[in-house]
Amino acid sequence: MVIKYMTLGMSGSTTGTCLEEDDVDLKICRVCMDKATGYHFNVMTCEGCKGFFRRAVKSNIRYSCPFQNSCVITKNSRRQCQACRLKRCLEIGMNKEMIMSDKAVEERRTLIKKNKTLKMTPSIPEEPDLTKEQEKLLEDLLEAHRKTFDASFTHFTQFRVGIVYQTLRQGSLHFLSQYVVASLYTVCISIQSTHQYTQSSTLMKPYPVKISLEKDYKLQRNFSMLPHIADLATYMIQGTINFAKAIPFFRNNSLLSCK
Amino acid sequence: MVIKYMTLGMSGSTTGTCLEEDDVDLKICRVCMDKATGYHFNVMTCEGCKGFFRRAVKSNIRYSCPFQNSCVITKNSRRQCQACRLKRCLEIGMNKEMIMSDKAVEERRTLIKKNKTLKMTPSIPEEPDLTKEQEKLLEDLLEAHRKTFDASFTHFTQFRVGIVYQTLRQGSLHFLSQYVVASLYTVCISIQSTHQYTQSSTLMKPYPVKISLEKDYKLQRNFSMLPHIADLATYMIQGTINFAKAIPFFRNNSLLSCK
DNA sequence: AGGAGTTCAAGAAGTTCA
DNA sequence: TGAACTTCTTGAACTCCT
Ligand SMILES: [Zn+2]
Ligand SMILES: [Zn+2]
Ligand SMILES: [Zn+2]
Ligand SMILES: [Zn+2]
């Protein structure tokens, strides 16, 4: 940087070139004079001041200047006084409102995670060959499935969870619901193995380009859902029954005693 | 950085020395010539002078030189005269203000303690107050829950999944079962928000230290699971019924027509 | 391309303890 | 006292959505 300025001063002063100079001017951090990397929270700043501003505002800590509250902020001094650095950030117009809220950040992270999962493109199975009746039944089942378990599976989000923790003896740790954590873990594994399956299995052939009718797409998709629906139904029914059976109250009243 | 470049330009041009020398130069304690470990209170110093400066300033003791107030400070002599060592520290620019105030240190300690607590203990809800019968029922429910939904939720891993894909028109991508992906997505959200809830809610008080009996731990844990179990049971039963109702075959046979 | 957030190794405070 | 260690802070480089 030093060299660059000197060069400019020696060779460029008479010509009064504009673009270069303006660029250099515009590319200076309004907070600390370091090299700026663009507009951050509404002001041209460097990466350092960008990160500092976000952290300072989000942490919500009230800094206090150990000097006279009038520190000059430069590339080299900016680290010495957080209070004055933040003050300067605000003075030149950096906008708190442009920092994403925790909620917004959470949504963003979720979106990215979802997109990543979706990008892992699986292949498509063979086209099944069904009778009219079978196709109708298939439609019925899929429709029932859709009605019962909405696409975003919102039921799960509404589950309240318990807090399961271990004693201090067992490692000085308390834990969130083991159950929920375990289920996340397992669902993750499930999805990953499913990915592997659909991506590597020789049974899963790439979708034939020649098949392009809307109806064929739909049929294939529906058909592939059948095993899943069957598993889910089995699980739901058996789970309900088993749970009830395991409660002494129900056992004693022999409502379910047919074994 | 600027200073470094200038130094290089002035002294290094003739010798053509390399990085080694600069590094060594920069890594010398400006107070005592010992090996420096970085910038401390604004000046490149060794660990010894760093610690000495903090202690000397914080203790607020007025040292006095037993000699002529002009001791030469070196790695070996630095311990002989605290007065001249401190004087030298200040002369070369070590900054008192960069020593954290007692208040700041206290806040820092508190913060660290809090962080540690949060890390280890997501915090625990209030202890419920139950009758013997209620405790028994609680045990029954928990036991039933454990028997029905094993901890690792292995049922879910065994679900087969359908393949749902979009047309090439919609982005040249094929997709795995929307259902499974969505459920992962949603379970993730659920868990994350649960974390936030237990970490930030004022309703969740730190676990009282005085409660240390095994029984109390167990009771609290069990109690906290109740809402979750209730949700799960409701979901399972309603899900089964709704699914069946949504299938024309069952509807037509009016087995479930009691609405 | 622009500008949000994210990552993580390096830096610099304090803390420990022989 | 000071070597070794812990913890939080920085900011360059990077990812991701628009
Ligand atoms: Zn800056
Ligand atoms: Zn200041
Ligand atoms: Zn020293
Ligand atoms: Zn002296």
State whether the beta carbon of A101 lies below 7 angstroms from any atom of strand C: no
For chain A, domains (ranges, CATH) are: 25-122 (3.30.50.10)
pLDDT by position in tens, chain A (length 259): 323 333 333 333 333 444 444 556 679 999 999 999 999 999 999 999 999 999 999 999 999 999 999 999 999 999 999 999 999 999 999 999 999 999 999 999 999 988 887 776 544 443 455 566 666 766 666 666 666 655 444 454 444 544 432 222 222 222 333 344 344 434 433 443 343 333 333 333 333 333 345 555 555 555 556 655 665 666 666 666 666 666 666 666 655 544 3
The residue assigned the tokens 């001063």 is A9
Angle formed at CA A233 by CA A230 and CA A237, multiple of 5 degrees: 140
Q: What is the pLDDT of residues A189-211, one digit of tens each?
A: 344 334 333 333 333 333 333 33
Q: Is residue B33 within 8 Å of residue B74, measured between CB atoms?
A: yes
Backbone angles phi, psi at A38, to 5 degrees: 140, -175
pTM of the model: 0.52
Provide residues 20-39 of A with CB closer than 7 Å to any strand C atom: 38-39
Q: Is residue B58 within 8 Å of residue B4, measured between CB atoms?
A: no
Distance (angstroms) between ligand 1 centre and the Cα of A89 equals: 9
Cα separation, B53 vs A220, in Å, equals 76
Provide residues 100-129 of A with CB closer than 7 Å to any strand D atom: 108, 111-112, 115-116
Q: How long is chain B?
A: 259
Which helix H or strand E contains A135, and what residues bound it? helix A132-148
Angle formed at CA B200 by CA B196 and CA B203, multiple of 5 degrees: 115
State whether the beta carbon of B78 lies below 7 angstroms from any atom of strand D: yes
- Block means of pLDDT (10 residues each) for chain B, 259 residues, are 30 37 74 97 98 97 96 98 98 97 95 84 50 60 60 45 34 34 41 38 32 48 58 62 66 53
Residue A171 zone, left/alpha/beta (φ > 0; ψ -120 to 50; rest): left
State whether the beta carbon of B100 lies below 7 angstroms from any atom of strand C: yes
Distance of CA B223 to the CA centre of its chain: 28
Q: Closest CB to B177: pick one of A143, A158, A228.
A: A228
Cα separation, A7 vs A9, in Å, equals 5
